[in-house]
């Protein structure tokens, strides 16, 4: 019995768009499939003119129809959704965040929108990666830890909240800007990690000269206007210190956990304490300490503690939290961040990469979030 157009449409409609992570039928992207003389014609509506998944969708459609005996050739016609259709896609994925304005106290230019990650029952574990000062490798730690979590099968995303010193896109190896559909941002994915950053909206050499109110608004949009799709882990790369952004995020993400990055240097450890104490003052959980640049291994195989020793352990003891890991100083780690080849991808068995792998294991198996409430408990 010959296969029908409806059956072919059903087959193609089950294909999942790599960007939206929903099937073509659900998102209204598939207009239909027709078969004539052994040639299947597919009409597909893309959410934007420059839809980044276009080529991948072509390959997926070709593969899905190649298994059908009656199909000898496949042609795909692409059209672009109109504004109403784009709005429907945005509504289906994130709703209309602007309608939740006033759901919480607003600060600066922010609207007080409801933050999905702060909602009771939201499954995403939010980790704020902080440091007391710059230059300790916090962003490099964030990028490689996120990749290690993704390599463990965790759906992982990163918010680059270091507005003045954004570097996450470069470190992750992101090669294109995000796509916008009716004011909804579809984050870019690289090495299994989705991310959003001020680096997508400003040139690398362009300074961001904003005061607190504008920063608060930008962070609110990063958390509400982006199609994050409920990742298992959301890592937030904070700017160094304890300024407006850190305070804003503590209000936006009250269930988040703080991980403090420091170096073995006692001076760096003392400065890092301030970031941890700030978290405690705003009722955030300090989860762990990571010591970066712990040692350098020379050509002779010996460890050289260039920046001293003991800073990470001392800070962890002071805060009463575990030392999650000690990362060695490696030239390849620095070079990988500069060219978008993270060490956890470029050399996953090297000394530094194995530390990230172990830290990801500890976070997913041992250092789990403390439950603060039980949805099954009720007062009667």
Same fold flag, 5-90 and 112-364? no
Is it the case that residue 55 has pLDDT exceeding 50? yes
Q: pLDDT tens, 226-272?
A: 999 999 999 999 988 766 777 788 888 999 999 999 999 887 888 88
In DSSP notation, 33-96 reads EEEETTEEEEEEEESSTT-TTHHHHHHHHHHHHHT-TT--EEEEEEEE--HHHHHHHHHHHH--
- The domain ranges of the chain are 5-90, 112-364
Q: Of 3.40.50.300, 3.40.50.970, 2.60.40.790, 3.40.1550.10, which CATH number belongs to 112-364? A: 3.40.50.300
Is it the case that residue 133 has pLDDT exceeding 90? no
Q: What is the mean pLDDT of the chain?
A: 89
In DSSP notation, 111-141 reads --PPPGGGSTT--PEEEEEE-SSSSS-HHHH
Residues of the chain with pLDDT > 70, as a percent, come to 90
Is it the case that residue 154 has pLDDT exceeding 60? yes
Q: 5-90: what fold?
A: GMP Synthetase; Chain A, domain 3 (3.30.300)
């Amino acid at each position: 019995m010959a296969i029908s157009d409806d059956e072919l449409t059903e087959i193609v409609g089950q294909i999942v768009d790599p960007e939206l992570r929903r099937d073509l039928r659900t998102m209204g992207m598939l207009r239909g499939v027709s078969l004539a003389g052994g040639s299947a014609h597919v009409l597909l509506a893309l959410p934007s003119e420059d839809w980044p998944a276009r080529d991948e969708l072509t390959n997926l459609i070709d593969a899905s129809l190649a298994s059908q005996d009656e199909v000898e050739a496949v042609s795909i016609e692409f059209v672009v959704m109109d504004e109403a259709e784009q709005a429907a896609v945005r509504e289906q994925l994130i709703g209309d965040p602007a309608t939740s304005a006033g759901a919480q106290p607003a600060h600066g230019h922010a609207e007080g929108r409801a933050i999905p990650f702060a909602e009771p029952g939201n499954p995403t574990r939010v980790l704020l990666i902080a440091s007391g000062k710059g230059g300790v490798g916090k962003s490099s730690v964030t990028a490689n830890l996120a990749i290690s979590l993704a390599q463990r099968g965790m759906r992982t995303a990163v918010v680059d909240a270091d507005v003045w010193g954004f570097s996450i896109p470069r470190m992750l190896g992101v090669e294109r800007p995000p796509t916008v559909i009716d004011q909804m941002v579809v984050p870019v994915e690289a090495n299994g990690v989705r991310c959003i950053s001020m680096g997508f909206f400003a040139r690398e050499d362009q300074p961001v000269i904003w005061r607190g109110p504008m920063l608060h608004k930008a962070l609110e949009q990063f958390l509400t206007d982006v199609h994050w799709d409920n990742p298992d882990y959301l890592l937030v790369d904070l700017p160094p210190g304890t300024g407006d952004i850190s305070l804003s995020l503590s209000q936006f993400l009250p269930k988040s956990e703080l991980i403090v990055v420091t170096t073995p240097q006692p001076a760096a450890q003392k400065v890092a304490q301030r970031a941890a104490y700030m978290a405690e003052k705003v009722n955030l959980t300090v989860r762990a300490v990571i010591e970066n640049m712990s040692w350098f291994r020379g050509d002779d195989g010996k460890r050289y503690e260039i920046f001293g020793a003991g800073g990470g352990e001392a800070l962890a003891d002071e805060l009463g939290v575990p030392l999650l890991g000690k990362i060695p100083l490696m030239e390849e780690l620095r070079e990988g961040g500069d060219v978008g080849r993270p060490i956890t991808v470029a050399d996953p068995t090297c000394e530094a990469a194995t530390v990230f792998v172990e830290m990801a294991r500890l976070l997913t198996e041992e250092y789990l979030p403390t439950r603060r409430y039980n949805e099954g408990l009720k007062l009667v």
